[in-house]
């Protein structure tokens, strides 16, 4: 009963927050004005980060009040630091290089104060558990690199209505399938992402970098902490397959931008989802993206013997889609 009361109060708070979304976004200057290169031709509110950080805070407060909080799924410093950086970016449009420097500093501090974020071992299906040397490179550089690669790969997904939210939900679904207790910790946050999908489509409200970073850093923290507590729960191959398409698209874009002597962190309209959107529209793009990201990892979950075939098919399908949309 107590839990239900907290839950109802939380939804009332989120409802009133949404009701005043225009005033909040206008006051904070969280408004996306389209330009000649934008897919969206009308201004929109970058309300997603405010909505989701509120739901995440309420989620944690409920767990603390009901004595169900588990630190092995959360890191206050990283979550709020990345949210603030992304929020400032939504407001001020930070220089990409400055944003990356700030992200690296935050990761160093975050990994330094929370040893559970350090990658001390990797569990492979073919080679079993591999213990990494306890040194500066693996404790900090490798762990920070994994966080930043994940955040940037996920951030590259954002760009059309509903894509980042649905991909984030699909990642959460897979994590929950492997460890159902994750849902008991992130229940309100996950429900809020689902609610945001409706808000996003109907009321022209976008995630913004702040909402995107909240989803991605939450998933990254879960993966790192689970690797610390239960290293055998996720094979390294699973994580690789889950991030293969976003990572491949990020690598392609970085390479193309560097060859064109432009900033690799500066956005453009050459992402796979932009090209699919221009060819097929919003809904088909989301369905295709969910298919190529999730199907390989679910097949691997059922039968690990198809790993190399899955990698080959996924990469081939990615380049076929690039050719189709060129």
SS3 labels along 264-285:
CCCCCCCCHHHHHHHHHCHHHH
Rounded Cα distance, 315 and 19, in Å: 44
Residue with tokens 């193309």: 256
List for the chain the helix, strand, coil content (%; round to 5): 75, 5, 25
Residue 302 lies in a domain: no
Nearest to 157 by CA among 93, 215, 76: 215
The per-residue b/e assignment along 152-177, b for 16 or more CB within 10 angstroms, e otherwise, is bbbbbbbbbbbbbbbbbbbbbebbbe
Residue 133 lies in a domain: yes
Residue 292 lies in a domain: no
What is the reported pLDDT for 131? 64
Residue 274 lies in a domain: no
The H or E element that residue 122 is part of is strand 121-124
What is the reported pLDDT for 257? 86
Rounded Cα distance, 224 and 239, in Å: 11
Residue 325 lies in a domain: no
Long-range CB contacts (within 8 A, 24+) of 91-95: 91/28, 91/29, 91/30
What is the reported pLDDT for 227? 85
Q: Full-prediction pTM beyond 0.85?
A: yes
Instruction: For Cα atoms 192, 149, 271, give the angle at the middle one, nearest 5 degrees.
Output: 75
* Digit-coded pLDDT (tens) for 14-67: 999 999 999 999 999 998 876 555 555 577 889 999 999 999 999 999 988 888
Residue 305 lies in a domain: no
Which phi and psi angles does 181 have, rounded to 5°?
A: -65, -15
Rounded Cα distance, 63 and 80, in Å: 18
CB proximity list for 268: less than 8 A, separation 6 or greater: 37, 253, 257
What is the reported pLDDT for 234? 86
Rounded Cα distance, 246 and 233, in Å: 22
The H or E element that residue 295 is part of is helix 282-302
Q: How many domains would you assign to the chain?
A: 1
Helix (H, G, I), strand (E, B) or coil at 31: strand
Residue 121 lies in a domain: yes
Which range marks the domain in which residue 156 is found?
Answer: 2-244
Residue 278 lies in a domain: no
Q: Quick one: how far is CA 292 from the chain centroid? A: 17
Low pLDDT (below 50) residues in the chain: none
């Amino acid at each position: 009963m107590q839990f239900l009361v907290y839950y109802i109060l939380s939804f009332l708070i989120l409802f009133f927050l949404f009701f005043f979304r225009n005033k909040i976004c206008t006051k904070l200057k969280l408004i996306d004005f389209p330009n000649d290169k934008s897919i969206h031709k009308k201004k929109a509110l970058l309300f997603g980060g405010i909505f989701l950080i509120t739901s995440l805070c309420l989620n944690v407060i409920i767990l603390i009040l009901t004595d169900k909080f588990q630190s092995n799924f959360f890191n206050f410093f990283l979550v709020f630091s990345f949210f603030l950086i992304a929020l400032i970016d939504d407001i001020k449009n930070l220089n990409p290089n400055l944003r990356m420097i700030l992200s690296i500093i935050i990761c160093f501090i975050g990994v330094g104060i929370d040893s559970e974020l350090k990658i001390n071992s990797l569990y492979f299906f073919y080679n079993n558990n591999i213990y990494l040397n306890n040194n500066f490179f693996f404790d900090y550089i490798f762990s920070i690199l994994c966080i930043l690669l994940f955040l940037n790969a996920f951030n590259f997904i954002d760009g059309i209505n509903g894509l980042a939210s649905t991909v984030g939900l699909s990642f959460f679904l897979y994590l929950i399938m492997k460890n159902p207790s994750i849902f008991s910790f992130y229940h309100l946050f996950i429900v809020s992402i689902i609610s945001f999908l409706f808000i996003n489509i109907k009321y022209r409200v976008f995630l913004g970098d702040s909402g995107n970073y909240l989803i991605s850093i939450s998933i990254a923290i879960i993966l790192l902490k689970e690797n610390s507590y239960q290293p055998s729960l996720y094979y390294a191959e699973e994580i690789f397959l889950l991030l293969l398409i976003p990572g491949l698209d990020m690598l392609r874009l970085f390479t193309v931008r560097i060859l064109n002597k432009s900033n690799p962190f500066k956005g453009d309209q050459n992402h796979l989802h932009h090209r699919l959107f221009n060819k097929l529209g919003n809904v088909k793009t989301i369905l295709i993206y969910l298919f190529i990201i999730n199907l390989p990892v679910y097949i691997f979950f059922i039968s690990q013997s198809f790993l190399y075939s899955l990698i080959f098919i996924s990469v081939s399908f990615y380049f076929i889609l690039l050719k189709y949309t060129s």
